[in-house]
Chain A
Amino acid sequence: MLSYILSRLVALLASLAVASVVIFVMIEMVPGDPAAFMLGLNAAPDTVAALRAELGLGGSPVERYLRWVTGMVQGDFGISYTYQVPVAELVAARLMVSLPLAVMALLLSTLIALPVGLYAASRRGRAGDWSVMGITQLGIAIPNFWFAMILVVIFAIQLRWFSAGGFPGWDAGVLACLKALILPAVALALPQASILARVMRSAVLEVLDQDYIRTARAKGLSHRRTLTDHAFRNALIPVLTIIGLQFSFLIAGAIIIENVFFLPGLGRLVFQGITQRDLIVVESVVMLLVFAVILVNFMVDIAYGIADPRLRRQ
């Protein structure tokens, strides 16, 4: 298992190195000079040049790449062009919202989806299965911003259980923050849970056709115990893949939900960064997201190894 983890770790570092080059090259190719953009249309050329030097935009691309990477390794992501504060601080503050939101949404979706998928598979072709399939179809089809607005109308405006948006900040207490994240987390989790439940269902159905399920039944296990003791863990492999993909998406893909609920998350930061040519923010956040995706994949790989002993000795 240890050598398996090490090999995955090497793959992680290699992916990061490749990703950083790709991101750097792509940002280099984006048209628009941040210095010119900040100074406006009528700036004198030598003012622009001076600002470029100050922003660290001078030098050859290789020099700039190395400066960027070594800075990041030391935790220095540079200074935001528009906000004039260190990018690291900016991102950290946003991450304090996006990360808990993503984790909550993922927990919610997994906790709903796995039992529901298992249930649907065990009732294959019967009423229970049909209703799960129908509901999940609906869950995938409903746009989540619309679902979010429905949630706001019911739980914030009518029942007044939650506030309609905004984030109090962690200084206001953990409970208050978690409460503020519940509605957005539910809105994010609905489509994810629907997809995951369907994946779980088909994974379990596939496993139920396997010979070792028949073996388990021949040993005297009831249908239910066969499901929980034998089918569940074998069905987890494809499900883990989807969970990993969903988590990566949830960290950065929540822009619309963040906007609906006025949450200061990463998605909004990237959006603003792009519109204001704050390339250093974009670059750093994209790199961070890539890092998150690769890290999640690494954890999914480790989870594979735990779930399936056959993968450990590679």
Chain B
Amino acid sequence: MSAPRLAIEGLSVRIGDMTVVDRITLSIGAGKVFGLAGESGSGKSMTALAAIGLLPQGAVRSGAARLDGNDLFGLDEAAMCGVRGRHIGMIFQEPMTALNPVRSIGDQVAETLVIHAGMHRQAARDVAADRLDRVGLPADRIGLDRYPHELSGGQRQRVMIAQAIALQPALLIADEPTTALDVTTQAGILDLLGGLVAEGDMSLLLITHDLAVLAGLSSSIAVMKDGRIVETGETETLFRHHSHAYTASLLAASNHRPQAVPLPDKADPLLRIEDLRLGYRGRGRLFRAAPLSEAVRGVSLSVDEGESVGLVGESGCGKSTLARAILGLEPPRGGSITLAGTAVTAGQMMPAHTRAAMQIVFQDPYGSFNPRHPVERLVAEPFHLLDDAPTRAEASRAVGAALEAVGLSPQDAGKYIHEFSGGQRQRIAIARALVIRPKLIILDEAVSALDVSIRAQILDLLAGLRREFGLAYLFISHDLGVVRAITERVLVMKDGAIVESGETERVLASPAHPYTAELVAASPQIPQEWVA
């Protein structure tokens, strides 16, 4: 039997006293897709960076890695530069920041050819045009002289792939290549990666936290936890007969559905939006009117008290603009918003009690907190909306109760936000939303940045809070699985308009609108019979 494409043997990575990768061994066959799965901090990315010798400063690796039988760890830095980009290509998660903003995409793809093949710039650009064409960016539509900021996230990720495969490397490492992308864009990129492997001899090491992505693509999977591979095997076998409890819990968490919340028999409408139009004027030119871009064009919707409604759609469809308008942060260009009978008006005119009736939880639990304030002050912030502001002691008690409600302890009030993990921060964000007992909480991609097991816990928490306090949720997400788990009704939004709405189960099971069908088809799923 010939040597495997990539063989990693007993690889460990240590940073200071911490072992972040602990004696892992894996091997990837030629022309195969190998999936490396695990949650954040499990050591997946460190494994890849160790293989190509790009560990962060201070990290020390031991063990061995061989590419087609050739030792990689014995090479010096100069020799390793000759391997990276030529024999091993790598693409990363953040397509928005992984390309140099001041150089054209043609030059960036050509650079791989210039440094390894010694090509002249013009010849390299010709090959680059061919590679960009291969990844779905034909030169007559997307010129070589475009800059990264002129492209969408999906297009940038395609440029990344083009420069990684420019010299047809033996191995491509893709580290969460689609995590930051919309589902349909993700499906396109995964198709592309699969196609590249199928048409040649290249192997693909696909690193992801999303087991469903691997189900359709990889031939083998290794599951990592705390720096170790806890289970490995062929994809279908691993899904059907996983033996390790962690694999089982990952699978369970990714399909987790909290206990259903009984709806009140008769509910009053809480939020009502009619024919809402939102938009902004672009910059005008001399003697030319500023172009009007409409982010939301004529949206009508309603949310009843105690109801959980999902709003799905891809980035740029107007979801977040709509959320801002509901909160009274964006003046509408037409239509109306009423919350519990009171009109929502942007600006100072809006009564505080209307603001107090709704709160929001954002995607980024770290960025939405002031890092210099203790949790007590962060959570107590919404109190200024109340007419009779509570005394210090009352506020402190309410903060403690809110923290307890989200599964933290009242003692956490004195800590600062950096002392908490991502999941705990999101709990604090929910506590902040909860503390003045709003009627409606808008959750804008509130669980998208969380690992599956944490996400499952937060979904349980949200369901429990709803049962306890009779909250209504407007749950904005691009993840259909999560929307299915936590909402009764769903609205599908595209280009600023709602194209389909109805009961979540029904809409997602048998979509009426072609766009909904496209979204459902693009969502990676583990085949039912594998996990049954």
**Residues of A participating in the B interface, judged by any CB pair closer than 8 Å:** 3, 210-212, 214-223, 225, 229-230, 233-234, 307-310, 314
Shortest CB distance A52–B (Å): 45
Given contacts A212-B98, A307-B102, A310-B147, 20 further A-B contacts (CB under 8 A): A3-B285, A210-B97, A211-B98, A212-B97, A212-B99, A212-B101, A215-B92, A216-B100, A217-B84, A218-B54, A219-B89, A219-B115, A220-B83, A220-B84, A220-B86, A222-B81, A233-B103, A309-B104, A310-B149, A314-B283
Instruction: Assess whether B99 is in contact with A215, with CB atoms less than 8 Å apart.
Output: yes
- Which of chain A's residues have a CB closer than 8 A to the CB of B115? 219-221, 225
B418 interface hit (Cβ, 8 Å): no
Tell me, in angstroms, the Cα distance from A211 to B99 when the chains sit together. Answer: 7
Residues of chain B with a CB closer than 8 A to A310's CB: 101-102, 147, 149
Nearest A residue to B85, CB-CB: A220
Interface bits B475-488 vs A (CB < 8 Å: 1, else 0): 00000000000000
8 Å CB contacts to A: which residues of B87-143?
A: 89-90, 92, 94, 97-104, 111-112, 115-116
The bracket for how many chain B residues form the interface is 20 to 34
Chain A residue at minimal CB-CB distance from B285: A3
Is B78 part of the contact surface with A, judged by Cβ < 8 Å?
Answer: yes
Structural contact, A211 and B163, CB atoms closer than 8 A:
no
CB of B326 within 8 A of chain A? no
A-B pair count, CB < 8 Å, reads 79
B325 within 8 A of A: no
Q: Is B160 an interface residue (CB 8 A)?
A: yes
Contact of B101 among A3, A222, A308 (CB under 8 A): A308
Q: What's the minimum C-beta distance from B125 to chain A, rounded to whole angstroms?
A: 16
Instruction: Tell me which residues across on chain B come within 8 A of A308, comparing CB atoms.
Output: 101-102
B200 contacts chain A at the CB level, 8 A cutoff: no
Whether B52 sits at the interface, judged by CB under 8 Å, is: yes
Bound form: Cα–Cα A310–B147 in Å:
8
B69 within 8 A of A: no
Closest 9 CB pairs of A and B: A220-B85, A219-B85, A218-B90, A220-B84, A211-B97, A309-B147, A212-B100, A211-B98, A215-B98
Whether A220 contacts B54 by the Cβ 8 Å rule is no
Inter-chain contact B54/A309, CB cutoff 8 Å: no
Chain A residues contacting B104 (CB-CB under 8 Å) are 309
B-side contacts of A230, CB under 8 Å: 100, 103
Closest to A217 in B: B54
Taking the closest CB of chain A, its distance from the CB of B164, in whole angstroms, is: 8
The docked-state distance in angstroms from the alpha carbon of A314 to that of B100 is: 20
Measured between beta carbons, the chain B residues less than 8 angstroms from A234 are 100-102
B49-70 interface mask toward A, CB cutoff 8 Å, 1 = contact, 0 = none? 0001010000000000000000
Nearest CB in chain A to that of B94: its residue: A211
CB pairs A–B below 8 angstroms (18 shown) = A211-B94, A211-B97, A212-B100, A214-B54, A214-B98, A216-B111, A218-B52, A218-B54, A218-B84, A218-B85, A218-B164, A219-B84, A219-B89, A221-B85, A234-B102, A309-B102, A309-B104, A310-B101
Who on chain B is nearest to A220 by CB? B85
Chain A residue contacts of B94, Cβ below 8 A: 211
- B334 interface residue per 8 A CB criterion: no
Q: Which residues of B contact A309 (CB under 8 A)?
A: 101-102, 104, 147, 149
In the assembled complex, the CB of B134 is this many whole angstroms from the nearest CB of chain A, namely 17
Complex-state Cα separation, A233 to B104, whole angstroms: 13
**Is A220 a contact of B101 with CB atoms below 8 Å?**
no
- CB-CB under 8 A from B285, the residues of chain A are 3
Report the minimal beta-carbon distance from A265 to chain B, rounded to whole angstroms. Answer: 37
Please indicate the chain A residues that have their CB under 8 angstroms from the CB of B82 in the complex.
220
CB of A310, distance to nearest CB on chain B (Å):
5
| Bound Cα distance A217, B77 (Å) | 11
Nearest residue, chain A, Cβ from B167: A220
**In the complex, A233→B98 CA distance in Å?**
16
B81 pairs with A221, CB closer than 8 A: yes
A220 touches B116 (CB 8 A): yes
Contact A214 B92 (CB under 8 A): yes
How far apart are the CA atoms of A49 and B51 in the complex, in Å?
A: 88
Residues of B within 8 A of A3 (CB): 285
Question: Closest CB of chain B to A306's CB: distance in Å?
Answer: 10
Q: Collect the chain B residues with CB atoms within 8 Å of residue A212's CB.
A: 97-101
A198 to chain B, nearest CB (A): 22
Q: Smallest CB-CB separation from B54: which chain A residue?
A: A217
> A124's closest neighbor in chain B, by CB?
B57
B105 vs chain A, min Cβ distance (A): 11
How far apart are the CA atoms of A223 and B78 in the complex, in Å? 10
Closest to A222 in B: B81
Which residue on B lies nearest to A213, using beta carbons?
B100
CB-CB < 8 A to B103: which residues of A? 230, 233
What's the Cα separation between A219 and B52 when bound, in Å?
10
User: How long is the Cα–Cα vector from A3 to B99 in the complex, in angstroms?
Assistant: 26
Which of A219, A229, A314 is within 8 Å of B112, CB to CB?
A: A219
Q: Residue on A with the closest CB to B111?
A: A219
Interface residues of B in 22-63 (CB under 8 A from A): 52, 54
The distance in angstroms between the C-alpha atoms of A116 and B278, with both chains bound, is: 51
Least Cβ–Cβ distance between B169 and chain A, in angstroms: 10
Query: Given the interface contacts A211-B94, A310-B149, does A218 sit within 8 Å of B89 by beta carbon?
Result: yes
Q: Smallest CB-CB separation from A3: which chain B residue?
A: B285
B104 to chain A minimum Cβ distance, whole angstroms, is 8
Report how far A217 CA is from B54 CA in the complex, Å: 8
**A residues in contact with B92, CB < 8 Å:** 211, 214-215, 218
**In the complex, A224→B160 CA distance in Å?**
22
CB distance from A238 to the nearest CB of B (A): 14
Is A219 within 8 A of B54, CB to CB? no
Smallest distance from the beta carbon of B280 to chain A beta carbons, Å?
16
Shortest Cβ gap from B150 to chain A (Å): 8
